Amino acid sequence: MAVLFLTEADVRAVLPMPDLIDTMRQALGAFSGGQVVQPVRSVLEVGAEHAFFGVMPAALDAPASMGAKLVTVYHSNHDRGLPSHLATIILLDPETGGLRAIMDGRFITESRTAAVSAVSAKLLAREDATSLAIIGSGVQARSHLEALRHVCRFTSIRVWSPSRAHCEAFVAEADAGGASIAAAASAAEAVRGADVIVLATASKVPVIANVDVKDGAHICAVGACRPDQREMPSDLIARARVYVDSREGALKEAGELLIPIAEGRIDATHIAGELGELVLGKIAGRRNGSEVTIFKSLGMAAEDVAAAALAADRARAKGLGQVLET
């Protein structure tokens, strides 16, 4: 049996962001349309530093694909000169169950997360959105800047992160696509007046305040991914129209929602719907220009498998990667 092995460089070479955004839109629609079998991921807390190891399987009807992502989150890796999020994706033949491909999943995790946020911005941000705020300066900040520029026409970008040095380095190196970009003195300064806000931090507590978010803003919240973590306060969640990638996943993992539910501020019906339902036209999006919309992203195996399947097909067509005979 021939198994394709792809490095991160191989995957990068075949997954340009515009194509990935389109693939994520299709995967989201397939998930919310009942064409995906996918459990909520299993997460183990491991080691003295309480790192995370997640297992994320999925099978998609069209295009037929099946596989799983093994993902780890070790925040101490920054001290080792390694990415905090590492992953490996395996693809299986949906007809036989045989091993089809093994590939690095770190870049897919980084880029598909931003691509899904871009889908949310395309569907939920105001059409006249011109200002972007990014809270965080890591890989997700970088990938979101790239992805969102494909769906919005920004003229100004403000960035803030807890590390001033990291923030200034990010601003100096960023490709702003012609927009002005600057490091803000605080998260509040970055967020005030912004039409689109990206929250991409490792914080377990809110990093922005409700009062600083202007009417009509759209928020892509991607940093907090556990029940005891959140980047937004309860009053902001209660104020906004909230969308998720998976209702089931959000009500199990998203502290952004679980904490205000426990406080009695909202209940599960506060979720307006899944992003895939919006893709399919099953639910309404933004209802007026002053409404605050939030996309709470947790990431789904269906997104990883769809991206990996596209990467494998394109790599085979281009002769990239290493073929292993098993």
Q: What is the pLDDT of residues 232-285, one digit of tens each?
A: 999 999 999 999 999 999 999 999 999 999 999 999 999 999 999 999 999 999
3-state secondary structure of 270: helix
CA of residue 290 relative to chain centroid, distance: 25
Which CATH superfamily includes the segment(s) 113-299?
A: NAD(P)-binding Rossmann-like Domain (3.40.50.720)
Domain boundaries, the chain: 2-109+302-325, 113-299
Q: Above 90 in pLDDT, residue 219?
A: yes
Q: What is the pLDDT of residues 110-139, one digit of tens each?
A: 999 999 999 999 999 999 999 999 999 999
Q: What is the pLDDT of residues 168-206, one digit of tens each?
A: 999 999 989 899 999 999 999 999 999 999 999 988 899
Strand-strand pairing, 322-325 and 156-160:
unpaired
- Please tell me the class of the 2-109+302-325 domain: alpha beta
Res. 47 pLDDT band, cuts 50 70 90: confident
Other beta carbons within 10 angstroms of residue 4's beta carbon come to 21
Strand partners, 242: 271, 294
Strand-strand pairing, 85-92 and 99-104:
antiparallel
Q: What is the pLDDT of residues 60-91, one digit of tens each?
A: 998 899 999 999 989 889 889 888 889 999 99
